[in-house]
Structure 1
Amino acid sequence: MNAVAAPAAVMLPAPRRAVDDTEAVAVLPALFVPEASQWLSTSSGRIAGEGYSWMQAVHWVAESGLYKPRQHRSHGPRSFGPTTVRVAQELAELFPCRPGIEYLVRRTGLSERSVEYHLGMLREAGLLAYIVRGTRVRGERALASEFARMVPLEFDVALGIRTVLRDEAAPAYTRAVTGIAETGRELMARLGKKASRKLRWPRLKMSPKALLADARAGADGGAGTAVSAGSRCTPMGGSADGSSSAGTTSLPPETRLASGAYKSSNSEKSKGKAGGRKSGRWPSNDVGRRYQLGRELTQQVEWLRGCSVPRISWVARAVADAGWSATEVLAWLHLRGTAQTVYRGSGLLAVLLSTAETVLDTPAKRADAIAQWRGAQEAQRRRRIEKVRADRERYDGDWQLPQSRAVHSEMDSAIAQLKSTSRAVLQRLLDDGEGSGSTSYELDVQELAGIRAAAQAGLETGDTTLINDTVHGCGLGEAVRVYGKDLIRRAHQLDRVRRSSLSTYAYGA
């Protein structure tokens, strides 16, 4: 045995070891690539020439057990198993290797989180290296990562594969294979057979509950038959292993094919699916109806805004299962009444809905409750409109009365004194003669100022009696001479506003 094959014999991975095989674990090295070395520029492996040679390395890592995911993380898959090989098989068919998460989810049937786990395991095992790392920015289109399929350095050492760097200026990951040791040929042949086979999973369009029930029935020997991982049913030639999972599938008679009356079951199923749903959405189940009711309640009930939708859905599960709508729940809350101060909306809702489905147990009762609720809403709306109208009529003016009662009393006394003075002067003017409205009276400065002050005070409270009496008794010209055009115009405006139904003025005599 030469010097190259000697270390290879020590590191040659054996088949899956038994549970009590502890000596093999001691001699096999661990296989792990840290995150900083998962890029093509920092990787210690070499680029695989094609998908076939890369799948040989994938199967070697899978059966050697050198990579243990749970030694480096506390979550995710426990081992590098068939699921990881299935994901790698999809990657081996891509050129360039630029898979999107949605693409792998659609091809493998796994969840998005599972696909991310297995891609991370392939990177940590040294089988993938980043060329370009994808990005996910909110509001923009997600960009997929581009990988290079790598062969780990441990694989070359274990099988005695000899590599050479043909161009010294080229990076180390461009090494080319020149030969293999005799001790590694048998293992390489066996890995080649595995790489040439395809792992096929049955793609059954069934729900997880149906799959679980079918598997239990097959295990109990019932009517259900479990589909093996190697069976692949084809519509024309049967299955690959000589058995059919359908059991009752048969070809149509030639008469129906010749007449053109035969329609395949796939087209019938597709039409049934297209007609079974409306507006592109499948009908909701019990959980979906609960969440829909909880979402509507958090949007329409004031004291439930900000509450958790799952919690409200769980609280309202009884009425949701009974077929209640959000309008019916609002009508019931109106009948029960709510607290003025709500500390926990979900707790109050649970108390109010405790007997709802037993009291309003028929659609007719719920319809009556909705009618009462809508009537109360209409009455409340009318009261609110009347209140707003009354407030506007009361506070529409620019000037507002002071709040102090002492100021009110002083203002009332001052206005009464001015009114008495102005009326006495006006009465004296009227007693002097019966003018036709164009008579001019001689007034001194103090009397004229007192009359104008009394008229101004009356206008501030909405009283235009003094000016109107002067206009009617002495004429418009004399009133303009005494009071001025501004006071006469303001008195006219107040009279017009007073006659409107939208305004109300109250003043003392």
Structure 2
Amino acid sequence: MAAVRVPSPRRPGLPVGGAVDALPELFVPEAEQWLSATSSRLACDSYSWMQAVHWVAGSGLYLPRRHHKSGPRSFGPTTVRVAQELAKFLQPRPGIELLMARTGLCKRSVENHLRMLRETGLLVWVFQGTREKGGDRKASEFVLMVPPAFDAALGIRTVQRHEAAPDYTRAVAGIGEAGRASMATLAKKAARKVRKPKKKTLSTSAKASLPAPEQDATEAGNSRQEAVSGADSGDSRCTPMQGGSSTVSTAGSTPDPSEDKLASGQRKSSHPKKAKRGPRKRNKTGQRFSLAGELMRRVPWLRPADKARIAWVVGEVSDAGWSADEVLAALDLRQEPPGGIRRASGFLAARLRGMAAMPGWTTRQQRQMQVDHRNAAVDAARKDRITQVRDRQERNEGTWRAPAAAGVRRMVDAAVDDLRRHELRQHPVLAEIRDDDAPAALSDLEQLSRGEVADLRAAAQANPALITWAVEEAGEAYARRLYSNVLVDQVLNPVRSTLVAPYRPGRTT
């Protein structure tokens, strides 16, 4: 990758991807440099994080000398080099010695640049390492973050996916038109690699202008540098017979290049540049294997299967342009067999057979609607589980404590169930059914008229607890005959019920 130099930080007030004049100075106090107290958001990947790093380097909004008497004067190329090394880690837990070896910096410099990344909101602590003598040495753990000033400058819109999620998990929803050009510039900078700048050597004319003692010192330093670089590059050859090394080859000097190679005035490189190629476009087979791999990662019962066989099974829907989310929405239409899945590929083939031509799944808009329904159902189920956990915690944290004896707990649970059934039977529709006649009334389904069945289904739609009571008293088969499969699935399987047509009062079939 090409080596570039990051420009020197600009003065506050110069526009860098947005109205920087309206942005405050970048500085995060030490108390807010933790994941639980940060106002930044999580970076989706290291590439996006490096875009934010280059923006901070060029914005000039961070002035470290206002807060520290010593250390670096600005957020410069060296800080970007340290950030590049952090971006290479899958889980940022770097050691100071490792960063010193990779960047060539001393220990104090590495610590200063890590502090600068934290004070700009680009890095936060998850765990601060310990270096106790004689105790356990634990490494510090960081998380890559994007400061809110970056989103404000480029016009990036963020949304919170879930209400119960913390604020730092907000995701990017879009970007303004004014920030697109700046984002493209930052993307080019993030794709390059910043290297340590080489030391400049004086030209011949500059050497001639120096006094004689300084010219001798400069030539001696250059010769020393050439000798060291030649020894490092392997040009010198070890001579055990003489007990040392020589910088002069015994095979003679290197011949000059021919005249045809110097026609343009420059020597041609021995390593020609390779032609740049864009991302390779997958054919049908590649798309099938890509879809199969995504499904095997997201569906647990598909993981032991053979990837080539799964790619053959999903060939029909893959050729029709289906995505993994659309396939998952189609799989949720039916429940898994009660005995479990014996052969994953056969079960998947039975699920997807004819789905590409099924009404409601032929166009991308129709499939996206089904995906939205599935996502809404998954979110509703998740919120329901959260509510149940909270209710359980509130009951456990209350003044009442469950009995320690298992027999007493069963008696309490039986009493609570009897009380709940008694409340359900007070419903106007079931008021005439006495406790002694309940099994007989439930078993005598053929004597109900169409109007009575419609009234019972309308009452069950208003009060789903009636379906639960019917399942407990007479079984699931009877409840499905009385209240229909749609209403029963809304209570027993809420994820599947949102993907099918809702029940309309008045339908008796």
TM-score normalised by structure 2 residue count: 0.38
TM-score normalised by structure 1 residue count: 0.38
Mark the structure with the bigger radius of gyration. 1
Higher relative contact order at CA 8 Å, sep ≥6: structure 1 or structure 2? 2
